[in-house]
């Protein structure tokens, strides 16, 4: 099955990402299907004697890390994160990302921005020539007045904005916020769009990760490719 093949590519790439981790590091642990493979690979390193501590980006990730035997830092710590490893829903040729399909974009961005190095792991289908189109842009908003916030987003982007739902009601993030998904055909200036969206009252954070990726690890049918971003 194609999905099984893609999952194997994710696993291979995530295992490669785990090779960047050294003894004594504090590691930011992403959320999602690719991150699960990475957490299992790190758990094997811990069982083999490596010392490391993790900062999870979701309750799901925290539970997986504990199962894998990875010690975790408390959420209210002032972290010194050496490396954060996470997946992405889309990545463009400039290493800009769309993230947030799993709803953990706020914590993911906090952890990524706190890390000395941010490693992104994807399978080859996540690479796109330009962000947008096949995947909507998630934006985390506060529930109060979310409809007005969504209207402002629609006005700015000239695009359809849809409230994410689950089990017949609004999807709630771990911080108690809503997510709206913005259906944009093309995001030609992701940095400018990220800045403009964050100026709208009610917007907590966007799923645009611009200029943050240091290393991109791609699982392909021909093998794993590791690409370093140009110097920032």
- Residue span of the structural domain in which 180 resides: 137-203
CA-based nearest residue to 40, from 2, 81, 5, 12: 12
Specify whether 102 is located in the same domain as 217: yes
At 69 the three-state DSSP class reads coil
Specify whether 69 is located in the same domain as 8: yes
Percent share of the chain, pLDDT over 70: 97
pLDDT of residue 5: 85
The question of whether 80 is a catalytic residue gets the answer no
C-alpha dist (Å) from residue 157 to 41, 67, 210, 215: 40, 42, 17, 30
Specify whether 44 is located in the same domain as 96: yes
Specify whether 66 is located in the same domain as 179: no
Secondary element (H or E) of residue 114: helix 105-114
Cβ neighbors of 188 (< 8 A, separation 6 or more) are 130
Is position 109 within any domain?
A: yes
Contact between 34 and 14 under an 8 Å Cβ cutoff? The reply is yes
Specify whether 6 is located in the same domain as 108: yes
pLDDT of residue 7: 86
Domain count, the chain: 2
| Structure confidence at residue 232 as a pLDDT band (50, 70, 90) | low
Is position 88 within any domain?
A: yes
Specify whether 63 is located in the same domain as 17: yes
Q: What are phi and psi of 81, to 5 degrees?
A: -85, 125
Q: What is the pLDDT of residues 33-92, one digit of tens each?
A: 999 999 999 999 999 999 999 999 999 999 999 999 999 998 777 889 999 999 999 999
At 228 the three-state DSSP class reads strand
pLDDT of residue 166: 94
Is position 231 within any domain?
A: no
Q: Structure tokens of 41? A: 């690979």
Average pLDDT over residues 26-39: 94
The CATH code of the domain that includes 53 is 3.40.50.1360
Specify whether 21 is located in the same domain as 120: yes
Q: What is the pLDDT of residues 128-153, one digit of tens each?
A: 999 999 999 999 999 999 999 999 99
Specify whether 113 is located in the same domain as 10: yes
Specify whether 186 is located in the same domain as 215: no
Is position 26 within any domain?
A: yes
Give the least confident one: 14-28, 155-169, 192-206, 218-232: 218-232
Specify whether 118 is located in the same domain as 160: no
Q: Is the pLDDT of residue 1 over 50?
A: no
Specify whether 7 is located in the same domain as 95: yes
Contact between 30 and 61 under an 8 Å Cβ cutoff? The reply is yes
At 125 the three-state DSSP class reads helix
CA-based nearest residue to 174, from 9, 63, 54, 36: 63
Catalytic residue among 16, 108, 140, 194: 108
Is position 143 within any domain?
A: yes
Specify whether 120 is located in the same domain as 143: no
pLDDT of residue 6: 84
Give the least confident one: 6-15, 50-59, 89-98: 6-15
pLDDT of residue 2: 45
Q: What is the pLDDT of residues 100-131, one digit of tens each?
A: 999 999 999 999 999 999 999 999 999 999 99
Angle at Cα 53 formed by Cα 50 and Cα 59, nearest 5°? 130
pTM: 0.94
Cβ neighbors of 143 (< 8 A, separation 6 or more) are 170, 176, 177, 178
Average pLDDT over residues 20-36: 95
Q: Structure tokens of 141? A: 């908003």
The CATH code of the domain that includes 151 is 3.30.70.260
pLDDT of residue 134: 94
Percent share of the chain, pLDDT over 90: 91
pLDDT of residue 231: 67
Is position 19 within any domain?
A: yes
Cα–Cα distance between 194 and 221 in angstroms, integer?
33
């Amino acid at each position: 099955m194609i999905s099984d093949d893609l999952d194997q590519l994710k696993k291979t790439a995530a295992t490669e990402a785990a090779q960047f981790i050294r003894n004594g590091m504090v590691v930011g642990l992403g959320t999602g299907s690719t991150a699960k493979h990475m957490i299992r690979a790190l758990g094997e390193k811990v069982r083999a004697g490596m010392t490391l501590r993790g900062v999870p980006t979701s309750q799901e990730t925290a539970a997986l890390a504990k199962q894998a035997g990875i010690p975790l830092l408390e959420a209210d710590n002032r972290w010194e994160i050496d490396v954060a490893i996470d997946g992405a829903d889309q990545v463009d040729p400039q290493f800009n990302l769309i993230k947030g399909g799993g709803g953990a974009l706020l914590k993911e961005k906090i952890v990524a921005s706190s890390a000395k190095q941010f490693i992104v792991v994807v399978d080859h289908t996540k690479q796109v020539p330009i962000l947008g189109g096949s995947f909507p842009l998630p934006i985390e908003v506060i529930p109060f007045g979310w409809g007005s916030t969504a209207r402002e987003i629609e006005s700015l982007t000239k695009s359809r904005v849809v409230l994410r739902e689950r089990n017949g009601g609004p999807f709630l993030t771990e911080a108690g916020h809503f997510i709206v998904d913005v259906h944009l055909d093309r995001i030609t200036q992701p940095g400018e769009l990220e800045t403009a969206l964050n100026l709208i009252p009610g917007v907590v954070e966007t799923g645009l990760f611009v200029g943050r990726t240091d290393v991109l690890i791609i699982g392909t049918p021909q093998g794993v490719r590791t690409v370093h971003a140009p110097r920032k």
